[in-house]
Amino acid sequence: MISFTINDREVTGQEGWTILEVAKWHGIDIPTLCYHGAVEPYGACRLCVVEVDDGQQRRLVASCLHPVQEGLKVQTDSERVKNVRRWILQMMVDEHPGSQRIKELAKSYGVKESRFKSDRVEDLCILCGLCVRACDEVVGARAISLGNRGVRKEVATTHRLPSPECVACGTCLYVCPTGAMEQLFDRIRG
């Protein structure tokens, strides 16, 4: 058993558990977007960041991936944490104004009206990669992957053609946090 603190509260977790898992166990809320218990964590959205102090250094880590450590002091809502989340959500709302889930999260972190607005309002994909991981790890079909780099990154099939591997199971629809897959699904399934 490993004991440490979350928001000054003594907690314990098993070796190999992540901070997020222990927090959930103890009913401490940490927002997530690219995490799902059914697939390997990926660490892409960074919404789950928490501030940790290991006695040498204070820094922010992704709680969905960071293993628990004896004596670690975790803060889930420090100013630095809030600043990161506010900006992630600010940029996501500006880029994907159509997603209800993001709108709600954004509201709770004090996100403001912004002069930076996306010209592709219908685009809902936040590239969390949940569909890709679920298709690979849960279904085993590997019909989709994340292609391209940087701002051009996208969920895609090989050559952007309908995927022969797709079994139309709909798992991706289920895990997608924003509803983006509903627009993509027909193109993948063919």
Partner 1 sequence: MRQISTALKLDENRLASPAALAAYRESILAERDPNRPIIIVCHGTGCLATNSPKVADTLRRAIAAAGLQAQVVPEIKTTGCHGFCSRGPLVIFHPTGLFYQRVQPEDVEEIVQTTLLEGKPVERLLYVDPNTGEHIVHDHDIPFYKYQQRLVLRNIGKIDPADIRDTIAAGGYQSLAKVLAGMTPEEVIAVVETSGLRGRGGGGFLAGRKWRLAVENVRKSPGPVYVVGNGDEGDPGAFMDRTLMEGDPHAVLEGMIIGAYALGAQQGYIYVRLEYPLAVRHLSVAIEQARALGLLGQNILGTGFDFDIKINRGAGAFVCGEETALIASLEGRVGEPKTRPPYPAEKGLWNRPTIINNVETWGNVPQIIEKGADWFAGMGVPHSTGTKIFSLVGKVNNVGLVEVPMGITLGRIVEEIGGGVPGRDEFKAVQTGGPSGGCIPWELKDTPVDFDSLTRVGSMMGSGGMIVMDKRDCMVDVAKYFLEFLMDESCGKCVPCRMGLERMHAMLGEFTMGKGSLEDLDELHSLAEGIKDGSLCALGGTAPNPVLSTIRYFRDEYEAHILHKTCPGKVCRELITYAINSELCNGCTLCARECPAGAITGVKKKPHEINSSLCIKCGVCFEVCKPEAVEIL
For residue 51, count other CB atoms closer than 10 A to its CB: 19
- Which residue shows structure tokens 């994909």? 125
- In the chain, DSSP finds a helix count (H) and a strand count (E) of 6, 7
Closest CA to 107 of 121, 117, 92, 118: 92
Q: Which of residues 90-119 bind ligand FES (CB under 6 A)?
A: none
Per-position x/- string for 18-57, each x denoting binding to ligand FES as judged by CB under 6 A, each - no binding: --------------xxxx-------xxxxxx---------
Shortest reach from residue 169's CB to ligand FES, in Å: 24
Alpha helices in the chain (DSSP H): 19-25, 79-95, 100-108, 130-133, 171-175, 180-189
Measure the CA–CA gap between 93 and 116, rounded to whole angstroms.
Answer: 10
Phi, psi of 189 (to 5 degrees): -70, -30
Give, as one character, the DSSP assignment of residue 151.
G
92 binds, among ligand FES, partner 1, none (CB under 5 to 8 A by kind): partner 1
Based on the shown chain and the rule CB under 8 A, indicate whether residue 153 belongs to the binding site for partner 1.
yes
Q: Which of residues 109-148 bind partner 1 (CB under 8 A)?
A: 116, 126-127, 148
Biggest distance spanned by C-alpha atoms of the chain? 54
148 binds, among partner 1, ligand FES, none (CB under 5 to 8 A by kind): partner 1
Based on the shown chain and the rule CB under 8 A, indicate whether residue 86 belongs to the binding site for partner 1.
yes
Shortest reach from residue 156's CB to ligand FES, in Å: 21
Based on the shown chain and the rule CB under 8 A, indicate whether residue 62 belongs to the binding site for partner 1.
yes
Cβ proximity to partner 1: between 103 and 189 the closer is 103
Closest CA to 132 of 92, 78, 188, 65: 188
- Using the rule CB under 8 A, which residue among 52, 88, 124, 166 binds partner 1? 88
Which residues here bind partner 1, judged by CB under 8 A?
Answer: 43-47, 49, 59-60, 62, 65-67, 80, 83-84, 86-88, 91-92, 95, 116, 126-127, 148-153
Which residues here bind ligand FES, judged by CB under 6 A?
Answer: 32-35, 43-48, 62, 64
